[in-house]
Structure 1
C-alpha cells in the first residue's frame, strides 16, 4: 500500500480494529433518478444491507415485497424468500449487462447485482485498499473551496466485482474519505462523482452516513442536478 493508504486506513479506525469484524449491516433510505430510470423505483427505497468483510458478498432485505432478500457474490446473484429458499438466480451476472447504457432497464436480479456490488465497495472502503491485489498510487492534490484534497488512484483486480477497474478516492486533511470517482461499467461506463459526509463512529470505526452521487464531467466537475443516487445510512452495526 502507499503511504496515503496507510494514513487513511488509520484515520478510519485502523486495520487491526477493522479485522476484528466479519460483517457490517445498516438500514438504508435511498433516492435519486437512477432507480426509476432503471425501472425499479421502489424496490430498494427503504431496506437494509449486510456486507461481508472477509469475502465479497452482500444481501439486501427486504428486497421489494413478501419478505424477500437478495444475495450477491461476484459470480452469482439470487433472490431468496424469508426462509432462504432461492426464488431466482443468475450465474455470471455481469455478463448480462453487455450492451447496456444508462437508460437500459434492469431486471430484479440485475438490480440485486448492482446494489450488492456497489454497497460492498462503499462500506468496505478505505479498508478495501488493504485487500490482496488492490493497488493504489497518490495523485496530485485536488483543489476545493475548503482546501486541497489528497487523491489516490486505485486499481482493482479482476477478482473483485466493482464499478470499474480504475477509481479515484479523495481525502481531507484528517484522512477521511470525501469523494469517490468511478465509471459504472455495467451502465455504459457512466461517470460518477460520489460525495460522502456525516461521519459517525461505530465500534471504533469511522463511517460516513450520507452519500450523494452526481454525473461527473470530463474535467472532473459535476452539477448538483440531477441527483443520480442518494443513500442515507442509519442503525449501523459491526459484528
Structure 2
C-alpha cells in the first residue's frame, strides 16, 4: 500500500517538490444545487482561495462583501474585513451542524466552514495521504466504464476537519485522481461522489481544475442527474 501511495504522490508532482511549498492559491468559481438546498445564493463570480499546506488553515475572499474574507481552522471559523475587524465567528464550528439534514438551512458561518475544510482537502490531495495520522488501504480495483481504477480507502483522524472519517479516492492507470467519494457529515451524512477532470500543472504540481460532486447510490454509482456542487479552479499557484 505504501508503494501505491508513493507512486500516486509521485504522479502528482512528488513529495520533495510538495515540501518546498507552504501555501496554495487558486481562483474558484462555484455552482450546483446544494446552495439553494441550504437557503443560500450562489453567484458565478470568481473568488480567491488560499490554503496553507503545513497546517489545516484556509481563507476565501471576497465573502459577503468585497472587503470581507473567511478565516478557517478546524476549531474556529470567522468572517472578517481585510483590516481584521471580526464580522462574525464561531468556536468549535463542527458542533453547530448537529442535527442537520441535507435541506437544513446554513448561515454564512456554516458555509464558510464547509468551504474552508472542503477546499483545503481538495487542494492538498493526494499529498495529505502521506500524513502520519492518516490511514490508507487499497481496496479491490474499481471499474468505471471502460477503465479500471485503483481505489484507496482513507480513514481521517478527528483532528482533521473534512467531509467524513472514511473517504475513498480513485486513481486511473496514470495514477492521477479521477473520483473522490465521501459522506457529507455536516449535512446529514448523505453519500456523495465527486468526479475530477481537466488536469493542469502549477509549479510542478498536477491538480484537477474541474470538480463535480453528485449524489451516490447504495452501490457507489454516481447519480448523474444530481449535480450538487461544481468547482472550477484557475490561476493556481504553489509558493
Q: TM-score, normalised by structure 2?
A: 0.97
In structure 2, the residue matched to 1:24 is 24
Q: Are 1:43 and 1:64, in contact at CA under 8 Å, matched by a contact in 2?
A: no
In structure 2, the residue matched to 1:227 is 227
Structure 1: runs of 5 or more not aligned: none
In structure 1, the residue matched to 2:93 is 93
Query: How much has 1:102 moved relative to structure 2?
Result: 0.5
Query: Residues 167-221 of structure 1, C-alpha deviation per residue, up to 9 Å, x if partnerless?
Result: 0000001110000000011100011000111001101100110000000001011
Query: Residues 112-167 of structure 1, C-alpha deviation per residue, up to 9 Å, x if partnerless?
Result: 00000100001100000011200100000001223100110100011101100000
Distance 1:76 1:66 in 2: 22
In structure 2, the residue matched to 1:105 is 105
**Aligned residue runs from structure 1 range 110-189, under 5 A:** 110-189=110-189
In structure 1, the residue matched to 2:205 is 205
Q: Which has the higher strand share?
A: 2
In structure 1, the residue matched to 2:217 is 217
Structure 1 residues 125 and 118 mapped into 2: Cα distance closer, same or farther (>3 Å)? same
Distance 2:143 2:166 in 1: 21
Matched, 1:6 2:26: no
Structure 2: runs of 5 or more not aligned: none
Structure 1 residues 44 and 122 mapped into 2: Cα distance closer, same or farther (>3 Å)? farther
Q: Are 2:30 and 2:42, in contact at CA under 8 Å, matched by a contact in 1?
A: no
Q: Are 2:183 and 2:189, in contact at CA under 8 Å, matched by a contact in 1?
A: yes
Structure 1 residues 36 and 45 mapped into 2: Cα distance closer, same or farther (>3 Å)? farther
